[in-house]
Amino acid sequence: MADNLQSRHRLWVEIDLDRLRDNYHTACGALQSGRVMPVVKADAYGHGAARAALALRRGPRPPGFFAVATAEEALQLRRHGVDCGILLLGVSPEAHLPALAGAGVTLCVPDPATARIYEKTLGGRKVNVHIKFDTGMTRLGLPPATAVRDALEIANILNVTGLFTHFAAADDPSEDAFTREQFDRFDAVCGQLGGHGLTNAVRHAANSAALLAHPYTHLDYARPGLMLYGYSPSGRADTGLRPVLSLYSSVMQCHAVPPGTTVSYGRTWTAQRESIIASIPLGYADGYGHGPPRTPGPDCGGEQGQRPPCGGLYMLVRGRRAPLVGRVCMDFCMLDVTDVPGVAPGDPVTVLGDGGALSAAGIARLTGTIPWDVLCSIGRRVPRVYRQGGQITEETNDIDRL
């Protein structure tokens, strides 16, 4: 936290583009076949989609494709100069189709009806599509019973350049048999389509979990998301992955309070001793505080105050753990810094990061959610600071666009 960032921001995210590249190369090195198609949907899981994509595109072994979820995300990458393949994993509204076709975005087709809409809207304009198969996720795609027939119908309407599916539980070792079953369904359909002449379409199925644990799923492309940002989707080995994102703030005010003092809305936490409470300008409007921090269980209050407060969440202040106390507010939360000597307004606070702080996985575990949720929830009003080679390369603040 150098570069005088505290003088400019009440809180901020730092994104290490070198770590992003390192994680990408770890993913590439884990492949048994094919290439990596980085998933940069949801603003690259809160890391900044355009900047993440450009950092990977300009590095060694650049990706040939990126995957996004929405038309707006695809067009954003093009506006920022991402010049390689972009696959839209979802279905585009009709209004965006001409722009997507003009930008050379590859579209997802989950059923013949969507193919006919695309054909009608585009009026014969060339567009490449990947067909999505539902092999067990029960979310989007051609069902196994009609998959071959429907895919051939789509191929008669549009230019099919890819076939793909998505795994429901590749991160769960107890579900390995089901992951294999999903893959076998997909593989069988691809084989039948090859017998009907659809032989040049690329195939992809593996997410981060499958890339790490199921090498038979790698095919022509793998689509890692979470592992690029430094986290394993399960407890399996993930050697070399390092979190890309850190979240920092600072102490705004300190309160010396006597025993019996309550903290925050609902008075859910009570000081059991002479205490010092530090107010931190970070709240649920910034993406911090869903789950137990906002709706605390018994560990957060009254006579049980001697137990770990608020589910064990803490931040680092002066290199020491300071537990979260009381409910998280819209713009603030409070820490018990009684056991951290000398805390004063302006002291830096590590909310999420290295050096003993909680990671996104740690916060997720304590709040009953998943790392994807923690990363994606960090709000747009939180500035992003990008580093490469240890130096700040860019600062962004999207609040001006709200």
pLDDT of 298 reads 40
19: enclosing H helix or E strand: helix 17-30
Measured torsion, CA atoms of residues 116, 120, 124, 127, in degrees rounded to the nearest 10:
-60
Q: How confident is the model at residue 1 (pLDDT cuts 50, 70, 90)?
A: very low
pLDDT of 289 reads 80
Q: In the predicted model, what is the mean pLDDT of the chain?
A: 92
Whether this prediction's pTM lies above 0.85 is answered by yes
Residue 303 or residue 214, greater confidence? 214
Q: How confident is the model at residue 311 (pLDDT cuts 50, 70, 90)?
A: confident
pLDDT of 302 reads 38
Per DSSP, the residues of 38-56 read -B-HHHHHHT-HHHHHHHH
- Does residue 296 have a pLDDT over 90? no
Per DSSP, the residues of 313-327 read -EEEETTEEEEEES-
Give CA–CA dist 353/385, Å, rounded: 14
pLDDT of 112 reads 98
- Does residue 12 have a pLDDT over 80? yes
Q: Which tens digits make up the pLDDT trace of 236-280?
A: 655 689 999 999 999 999 999 999 999 999 999 999 999 999 999
Measured torsion, CA atoms of residues 77, 79, 82, 84, in degrees rounded to the nearest 10:
90
336: enclosing H helix or E strand: strand 333-336
Angle at 204 between CA 198 and CA 206, to 5 degrees: 155
Q: List C-alpha distances in Å: 259 to 136, 264, 277.
A: 55, 15, 12
Nearest to 212 by CA among 178, 179, 164, 165: 179
> Does the active-site annotation cover 41?
yes
23: enclosing H helix or E strand: helix 17-30
> What domains are there in the chain, each with its CATH number?
17-229 (3.20.20.10), 245-401 (2.40.37.10)
Question: 147-155 and 176-195 are packed helices; what angle lies between their axes, rounded to 10 degrees?
Answer: 50
Q: Which tens digits make up the pLDDT trace of 187-215?
A: 999 999 999 999 999 999 999 999 999 99
Task: Return the minimum-mean-pLDDT range out of 61-75, 178-192, 293-307.
Answer: 293-307
Q: Which tens digits make up the pLDDT trace of 44-76?
A: 999 999 999 999 999 889 999 999 999 999 999
- Does residue 295 have a pLDDT over 90? no
Give CA–CA dist 16/324, Å, rounded: 26
Q: List C-alpha distances in Å: 10 to 2, 53, 205, 280, 324.
A: 14, 27, 42, 9, 18
Contact (Cβ atoms closer than 8 angstroms) between residue 343 and residue 254: yes
Give CA–CA dist 271/262, Å, rounded: 6
- Does residue 308 have a pLDDT over 60? no
Q: Which two tokens stand for residue 139?
A: 């979310």
Strand partners of residue 395: 385
| Residue 242: exposure state from Cβ atoms within 10 A (0-12, 13-18, ≥19) | middle
Could you tell me what percent of the chain has a pLDDT over 90?
A: 86
Listed in sequence order, the residues at least 6 apart from 39 whose beta carbon sits closer than 8 Å to its beta carbon are 66, 67, 68, 89, 207, 223, 224, 225, 228
Give CA–CA dist 34/49, Å, rounded: 23
pLDDT of 141 reads 98
Task: Kindly report the backbone phi and psi dihedral angles of residue 63, in degrees, each rounded to the nearest multiple of 5, phi listed first.
Answer: -65, 150
Q: Which two tokens stand for residue 288?
A: 């911090």
Q: Is 112 helix (H, G, I), strand (E, B) or coil?
A: helix
- Does residue 300 have a pLDDT over 50? no
Among candidate residues 41, 45, 118, 314, the one labeled active-site is 41
- In this structure, the number of other CB atoms found within 10 A of the CB of residue 287 comes to 21
Contact (Cβ atoms closer than 8 angstroms) between residue 293 and residue 367: yes
Give CA–CA dist 162/340, Å, rounded: 57
Q: Which tens digits make up the pLDDT trace of 110-150?
A: 999 999 999 999 998 889 999 999 999 999 999 999 999 99
Residue type, position 289, single letter:
G
Among candidate residues 221, 248, 265, 288, the one labeled active-site is 265
